[in-house]
Structure 1
Amino acid sequence: MTLYLHIGLPKTATSFWQAVVFPHVEDLVLVHRKQEVANGIIEPLKIYCHDGDQNNGERLGRLVTNIGQLRDRARAEGIDDMLITNENMSMMPLDIWEGTGPGPELVIERLQALVRALGSPETKVMFGTRTPEEWLPSRYAETAKLREDFSQEDFERRVEAMCNSSELSEQESWLHYDHVARLLRAAFGAGNVLVMPMERLSEDNEAAILEVGRFLGGRDLTPAIAKMREAGSLERKRNRLRRDDGSWKMKGHTARIAIDDALSARVRARFADPTGAEAAG
């Protein structure tokens, strides 16, 4: 068995991968929140990655049982690989704004424990990224549906506070992509980690899809691309909340969020890797 984990981040075209691409991958059990087979896996896995209470050992046991049962049913049908995709494994909706939720170190540690409990199958991890100066306003606009007090002024205040802080919080460290990539590669092996920037998908979605297919056990997704093109689902990925002036509509609000060039530059500097290493790939 090869276990593939797509852990987010949110707002990095996860819905596109989950709804458009992954269902076309053959000979693989796909597990995501909109599928019946996800019952007993997706929600418990999200909680397991984030919750530090004394019941986490019990959650791990239930996860191992539920994943094992699904694996056994798939093997009976001649399928030996499984892909679990849930962007909230890495970050919950309000984590970055409320300072809640774990950083990448703890989540990776828990995923390693899960893999060991499953009998240490070969495990590969896909991690989606997006330039931080785009990710922050997009994420803020999306999670505004959960907070009535969100506004342009509040967004700028929060982002400026991030840039002025002497240290990254655990939640902010998810946006230090080079750091996350190094942690993942150390935990699962350099050849078992794919960092997929959303920008790569936007520039050439077919090339990005083929790259993901190669990562998923060398699968050729060329026939799948033809089907997606025929269905009209391969239009270049575009954030539906964003418009050409560079602003994002806040869900549940009438206002929009924007980030100016000066603040964008500060965000880029804040999350740049001081070693100059490249996360992607």
Structure 2
Amino acid sequence: MRSDDGATLTLHIGIPKTASTWLQDVLFPQLPGIKSIPVPTSRLFDETEDRDADGRLWAGCLRRSAALWPVFGDAVFAEMLGPKEPWLAAPRDVVVSEEGIGRAGSRPEQLAAHLAAVRIHAQTWGFTRLKVICLLRRQDHWLASHYAQMSDRYADPGQAGFEDLVDKVARPDRGRFMLGMMLDYGALLGAVADAVGSPNVLALPYEFLVNDPAAFRQALLEFLRVADTPELQTATAAETRRNARSEAAGLWRLQSAVPRSLPRRVRGRLARSLGLPDPPPEPATIAVTPAITHRLLSTFADANRQADRYTAVRLGPFGYLEAGAILGPARVERAAE
């Protein structure tokens, strides 16, 4: 499918922990008439950091200067689309999904430079427009989900460790302008809009998907200019059921050092080798307390107000602008969500 004014390249840039896997594996591949490229990988870049990132193509690009696009852009596009001349003979609308691009939002100026260069180079491949889809997640919930996913890498994960991470992200002298920049949605969306133009940006909160999946799907399809289908409706309904499983409010379950999927006897041997009780205990949880929510929302108050100018739905009802307005079902979040 081609738009009336030519083919469109759409980048879904994440950020991580915002249903990216579902979009990549389930929804985008079913979009009628659009070529879906989920998390393209390549051996085009071969430094240690590239190999450590499992060869993610766009992560490799963003790890380098935006000056690569006029010189090396054809090689990058060929990795995704194949040889240039056959593609130019029949270009199609394309969606590339890579949450690692959103992770580069921790340096929004560099991300903007890359997107501006990609927009120009994409024209040489028959794309008359570059669009960007970006999903956000409220900072307190994102940070809890991030900590839970990474918890099996810590020596003694728990509430104290999580609260230290909150302190790190909130403080300018620690991580506010490092990891915290990835949660500065005002800077992120401002940089993206400057690079590709505000009409070419669809920014939605993850909480919108959780609370109104059908409206989320419609907003996405209108932006991509494709019709709804029964298959897309079924895929969204399945994600709705997955999100609806709940146990308690504000808790995130940490990763266990001993996977619960292993047989009990194997878990016991592995637990003893790690110096853990036999059988290993249930994974602990961390809590997003009102104090944590207040601190993070205060830290990012200006950023969230700026982001609210760019999002397709207002952020206030989802608690981004004030801690009292929090929608959504109570649930224990799992690290591997």
TM-score, structure 2 as length reference:
0.68
The 8 Å contact of residues 9 and 88 in structure 1, kept in 2 or not, is answered as: yes
Output the CA distance in 1 between the equivalents of 2:255 and 2:85: 41
Which runs of 5 or more structure 1 residues have no equivalent in the other structure? 93-100
Which letter does structure 2 place at the counterpart of 1:65? A
Which runs of 5 or more structure 2 residues have no equivalent in the other structure? 1-6, 45-54, 258-282, 313-337
Which letter does structure 2 place at the counterpart of 1:31? I
Q: Deviations over 1:184-239 (max 9, x none)?
A: 111111110000111110111011011100111x212243334436xx62424529
1:247 alignment counterpart: 251
The 8 Å contact of residues 247 and 256 in structure 1, kept in 2 or not, is answered as: yes
> For 1:197, which of 179, 182, 205 is the aligned residue?
205
1:70-149 alignment, distance < 5 Å: 80-91=92-103, 102-119=106-123, 121=127, 122-149=129-156
The 8 Å contact of residues 2 and 124 in structure 1, kept in 2 or not, is answered as: yes
Residue 219 of structure 2 is aligned to residue 214 of structure 1: no
Residue 177 of structure 2 is aligned to residue 164 of structure 1: no
1:98 alignment counterpart: none
Output the CA distance in 2 between the equivalents of 1:202 and 1:14: 13
> For 1:265, which of 294, 301, 304 is the aligned residue?
294
Which letter does structure 2 place at the counterpart of 1:266? R
Post-superposition offset of 1:55: 8.4
The 8 Å contact of residues 104 and 170 in structure 1, kept in 2 or not, is answered as: no
The 8 Å contact of residues 31 and 83 in structure 1, kept in 2 or not, is answered as: yes
Q: Which moved more, 1:254-263 or 1:186-195?
A: 254-263
Residue 48 of structure 2 is aligned to residue 17 of structure 1: no
The 8 Å contact of residues 69 and 117 in structure 2, kept in 1 or not, is answered as: no
Output the CA distance in 2 between the equivalents of 1:248 and 1:117: 42
Select the structure with the greater relative contact order (CA < 8 A; seq sep ≥ 6).
1
Output the CA distance in 2 between the equivalents of 1:43 and 1:209: 27
Which letter does structure 2 place at the counterpart of 1:280? T
2:188 alignment counterpart: 180
The 8 Å contact of residues 205 and 236 in structure 1, kept in 2 or not, is answered as: no
Output the CA distance in 2 between the equivalents of 1:115 and 1:146: 38
Which letter does structure 2 place at the counterpart of 1:154? G
The 8 Å contact of residues 32 and 227 in structure 2, kept in 1 or not, is answered as: no
1:22-33 alignment, distance < 5 Å: 22-33=28-39
The 8 Å contact of residues 12 and 132 in structure 2, kept in 1 or not, is answered as: yes
Output the CA distance in 1 between the equivalents of 2:75 and 2:88: 20
Structure label with greater radius of gyration: 2
Post-superposition offset of 1:89: 1.6
> For 1:152, which of 136, 159, 171 is the aligned residue?
159
Question: What secondary structure does 1:127 align onto?
Answer: strand
Q: Which moved more, 1:43-52 or 1:185-194?
A: 43-52
Could you tell me the percent identity over the aligned residues? 24
Residue 62 of structure 2 is aligned to residue 49 of structure 1: yes
CA RMSD of aligned residues (A): 3.2
Instruction: Provide closer, same or farther for how the CA distance between residues 186 and 239 of structure 1 changes in structure 2, counting only shifts above 3 A.
Output: farther
Output the CA distance in 1 between the equivalents of 2:80 and 2:140: 37
Question: What secondary structure does 2:302 align onto?
Answer: coil
Aligned length: 264
